Amino acid sequence: MSYPVAFGCVSVLRPAEHRWGGLVRALVYLGPGSAELQDRPAARRTHDDDVVVEIVGTGVCGTDRKILLGRFPARPGTVLGHESVGVVRETGPQVRSVAVGDRVVVNPTLYCGWCVPCRRGATNFCRHKAGTEVGVDRDGTYAEAVTLPERFVERVPAGLPFRSAVLIEPLACVLNNVEAASVTCGDSVVVLGAGPIGMLTALVAGRLARRVIVAEQDGYRLERAREHFAHVVDVAGTDPAEALAKSWGDDRPSVVFDTTGTGLGAALRLIDDGGRVVVMGFDDAYSVPLHPLQLTNRGIRLIGAGDYRADIFPVAVDLAAELGGPRRPGSGTGTLLDRLVTHEFPLERYSEAFTALGGLVRSDGHSGDDAHGEDGEDSGAVVPRYDALKVVIRSHSGPFGDDGWPVDA
């Protein structure tokens, strides 16, 4: 897959006072297939509850790739990026929960707080989202700094490295979906797809369920999944439903999460009667016939969870601290959160970051277009090939700690 985006020029570390008083570097979306690094006026406070965050790193999300390919709508002129961590550099006079110098994570799912869905707690379905989606139609975090209201900036717990904290936002998405599935200790869970979202889903569901099986068809991701999970099934070139039935016989899953965006058909064949199918990945090009009788007779619940609600984000922060905090002696070579981040690139090399994920090859050997969900699955003659899990674009130029990540200056 090639991204028709141009390289920016190499940045020189500018003096701090210049960065905050003048221009900051940012990756700006120009239109389908096109983005460039620009010098933008530095993020400034305009409201008393604003917080200016110097961005340290931002995870590359499937949505970002889709935006660049013109398959997900975004507003031209917007700075891309939304899964990010950084350090507070300025606060408005009303800000109480964070202070200058705090390590923080950005919650990019903004809401108004006063519309009907917001007032009943469903902030994920806020009616005033237009113009507030960070990295989509409001300036995002592939930049040196971002300004957001205080309630969308959370402190990163002490001991949780930035490198792991960058996964808090994807973890919030996963918690929302696992909660929507009401997973309990009696459940047998199948997760289709072992990308970052699939792996996090297996991790979270695995804390609750009796058993979790991960199904993947890409060699690289199978290998990574086997490092962390006991039950991993290779579904390359086969119907996942058949491959899993072969491994597990009559013990069909009571919950299936499809993180690929193209696995709903397989999930419906796979799920046990009375089970729940959760649709997480998305792929506009994929559709599947749905027979109502299939749902009514077999008592299957089909679940879509939307964005996460505001109350889920702090839970994701705590869970990340639990999963990615300081290691106990003898606990192996790193937490799953830490090891999910497989590649890092400075902002100037954003184009490499977008291609590092891997790409699609047609079965005739030519490179293909992106035609699958966030975590990918075979879609017709196009076969995804992955070389990475979570890729991070780093905006910060130092100083760096032992883990190679910036520490607060």
CB 64 to Zn ion: min, Å: 7
Q: Which is nearer to Zn ion, 390 or 396 (CB)?
A: 390
Which stretch, 104-112, 133-141, 199-207, 218-226, contacts Zn ion (CB under 5 A)? Answer: 104-112
Instruction: Pull the structure tokens for residue 198.
Output: 């699939």
CB 200 to Zn ion: min, Å: 12
Q: Which is nearer to Zn ion, 174 or 235 (CB)?
A: 174
37 binds Zn ion (CB under 5 A): no
Residue 147 phi/psi, 5-degree rounding, is -115, 130
Burial of 347 (0-12, 13-18, 19+ CB in 10 A): buried
- Select from 23, 30, 115, 122 the one that contacts Zn ion (CB under 5 A): 115
Burial of 332 (0-12, 13-18, 19+ CB in 10 A): exposed
Classify the phi-psi angles of 15: left when phi > 0, otherwise alpha if psi is within -120 to 50, otherwise beta.
beta
Q: Which is nearer to Zn ion, 112 or 245 (CB)?
A: 112
61 binds Zn ion (CB under 5 A): yes
| Rounded (10°) CA dihedral 57, 62, 64, 68 | 140
126 binds Zn ion (CB under 5 A): yes
| 143-172 footprint of Zn ion as x/- string (CB under 5 A) | ------------------------------
Instruction: Pull the structure tokens for residue 150.
Output: 């205080």
Residue count, binding to Zn ion (CB under 5 A): 6
Which stretch, 7-15, 58-66, 89-97, 160-168, contacts Zn ion (CB under 5 A)? Answer: 58-66
Q: How big, in percent rounded to 5, are the helix, strand and coil portions of the chain?
A: 25, 25, 45
CB 121 to Zn ion: min, Å: 11
CB 61 to Zn ion: min, Å: 3
**CA–CA separation, 262 vs 342, rounded Å?**
24
CB 9 to Zn ion: min, Å: 27
CB 197 to Zn ion: min, Å: 9
Q: Which is nearer to Zn ion, 72 or 220 (CB)?
A: 72
Contact 276, 182 (CB under 8 A): yes
CB 171 to Zn ion: min, Å: 11
Which stretch, 84-92, 116-124, 138-146, 396-404, contacts Zn ion (CB under 5 A)? Answer: 116-124
Q: Which is nearer to Zn ion, 21 or 306 (CB)?
A: 306
67 binds Zn ion (CB under 5 A): no
Which positions ≥6 away from 196 have C-beta within 8 Å?
59, 167, 170, 340, 375, 389, 390
Q: Which is nearer to Zn ion, 105 or 118 (CB)?
A: 118
| Rounded (10°) CA dihedral 367, 281, 187, 218 | 10
CB atoms within 10 A of CB 246: 10
| Cis geometry, peptide bond prior to residue 41 (ω within 30 degrees of 0) | no
CB 215 to Zn ion: min, Å: 22
285 binds Zn ion (CB under 5 A): no
Which of positions 340-359 make contact with Zn ion (CB under 5 A)?
Answer: none
Cα 184 to Cα 14, 177, 205, 276, 345, distances in angstroms: 52, 13, 9, 12, 39
Q: Which is nearer to Zn ion, 187 or 283 (CB)?
A: 283
Q: Which is nearer to Zn ion, 118 or 337 (CB)?
A: 118
**CA–CA separation, 311 vs 220, rounded Å?**
35
Q: Could you tell me which of 398, 390, 356, 397 has the C-alpha nearest to residue 166?
A: 390
267 binds Zn ion (CB under 5 A): no
Contact 370, 34 (CB under 8 A): no
Q: Which is nearer to Zn ion, 118 or 319 (CB)?
A: 118
- Select from 98, 112, 303, 361 the one that contacts Zn ion (CB under 5 A): 112
118 binds Zn ion (CB under 5 A): yes
Residue 278 phi/psi, 5-degree rounding, is -110, 125
**CA–CA separation, 186 vs 268, rounded Å?**
20
**Which residues contact Zn ion (rule: CB under 5 A)?**
61, 111-112, 115, 118, 126
